[in-house]
Amino acid sequence: MHVRRALALAVSVPLLLAGCTDDPEPTPKIPDPTTSSSTPSPTETETPEAENPEEFVRRWVEAGDEMQVTGETDEYSAMAPNCKPCQGFVTSVKDVYRAGGSAEFAGTVITDIQRYATNPPTYDVSQSVPETVIHHGDTGKTERLPGGKTRIRVILKRASSEWLVTYFGILS
């Protein structure tokens, strides 16, 4: 999100400044002759703007929501490789989809994120979760999990340039 803002500013500020001149008649600018060497273009290896812990927690929750409705577990799993509750969630989703099932879930709404502790980085996340409907393909059974407001505690760790979830648990 910050990268988009930076790009928008980089494009719009020069355009705005171009209109702010005291010179009543702009003089035409002749382009410089082309040289044989080209200007290097930005590469994907340039470091993106660092993601703060709160942004990461929001992205992790979104990845969990997406995992539930698609059965695609890789992104969520990679964000929490050593988190036992997270990997248990991954296994549950895989089991449902492997058996031909699916889930209906409208997505989590995060209402608040509060830092609980600094070391390790720990956050309490208040959220509103809609009803989840799980269709079990192997049995044909439909399971309904009620929606409601919950609070979870998420513990993070920094691994090189990215955040990882090491634990999460339900508070209420």
What is the count of structural domains for the chain?
A: 1
- Establish if 8 belongs to a structural domain: no
- Establish if 29 belongs to a structural domain: no
Q: CA-CA distances (angstroms) from residue 46 to 41, 42, 49, 53, 60?
A: 11, 7, 10, 21, 23
Interval 16-42: pLDDT, tens? 223 333 334 444 444 444 444 444 444
Interval 122-156: pLDDT, tens? 999 999 999 999 999 999 999 999 999 999 999 99
Q: Do 97 and 68 contact (CB within 8 A), yes or no?
A: no
Interval 39-72: pLDDT, tens? 444 444 444 578 999 999 999 999 999 999 999 9
- Establish if 96 belongs to a structural domain: yes
| DSSP three-state, residue 66 | helix
Its pTM surpasses 0.85: no
Identify which of 113, 97, 110, 107 has the alpha carbon closest to the alpha carbon of residue 147. 107
- Establish if 56 belongs to a structural domain: yes
- Establish if 105 belongs to a structural domain: yes
CATH, residue 118:
3.10.450.50
- Establish if 101 belongs to a structural domain: yes
- Establish if 6 belongs to a structural domain: no
